[in-house]
Amino acid sequence: MFTNEITIRPFRDINDVIFASSLTHIVEWHSETKNELLSYFDYDMNSCFLAELNGEKAGFCIATAYQKNGFIGDLIVSPTYRNQGIGKLLVQAAISFLKDKKIDRIFLDSVTEAVPLYKRIGFREVCRSLRFFGGIEPETNPHVSKISQNDFEQICAIDKIFFGDDRSFFLQRRLVNYPQLCLKLVNDGKIQAYLFGREGEGGWIHVGPIVSLLDSHETFPILRAFQEIIGYQPFSIGVLETQREMVINLIQAGVKPNPEPPIRMILGEGQNLGSGP
């Protein structure tokens, strides 16, 4: 009897990145482009896991290790090879990698149907990780301008507090790849809010992260200025449901929530990554 052989290994070269990009295209993850996958590969190629079934590439996932926290994302198995346990093996490889890195807390966003699987592994639910898509009324603002390299140190200092870890490598990549979509809001000579946008497949525009020292109402002008830059093209944005004011403002502005958002889950104890102070 023929037995399928599943192998999980790290990415080796750009060809593995191209394969991963082809899967994001198949499942229509418009914001996950080759550029984004290259960022993970360049950050740590050993954190990018590829599954092979009988020597054929079948799926992948990314395990990002920050300083204390880790995030498992971009888990995709080719439709041809699903229901054979490949996804579970990819997640297990990612968890082992992050634990070897002495990561305290591991996060992921799970679709609803996969929540029981992750619970059996040891994850618990934190909150819904909401997804919005649409447009808002554009408006220029004299306090909003593009981020420059001179702003980067100040932004990273703020971001480390609000995100709960150091993701400066990825923010720098966004600034280099999409400088026209990275904005700051300045009051009294100090950065009070910032956002990093990126371009996805087919012109898809995504906002994130967006961080502010202000309340949500005072932060909204930076989103309106972003809308002015991209014209009347809609954008996507992810917001944890715990950020209630931002959620309310987005809905009131006419941005539509995805009716089936993923669930933010954690393996370990501590504060939710990205929930701010």
Domain that holds residue 229: 132-263
Domain membership flag for residue 276: no
Q: How many domains does the chain have?
A: 2
Domain membership flag for residue 121: no
Q: Please tell me whether residues 252 and 136 are part of one structural domain.
A: yes
191-219 per-position pLDDT tens digit? 999 999 999 988 899 999 999 999 989 99
Q: Is the pLDDT of residue 274 over 70?
A: no
Q: Across the chain, what does the average pLDDT equal? A: 93
Q: What mean pLDDT do residues 255-268 have?
A: 95
Q: Please tell me whether residues 141 and 256 are part of one structural domain.
A: yes
Which of the listed residues 61, 83, 103 is the one where a domain comes to its end? 103
Q: Please tell me whether residues 93 and 208 are part of one structural domain.
A: no
CB 109 within 8 A of CB 262: yes
| pLDDT of amino acid 188 | 93
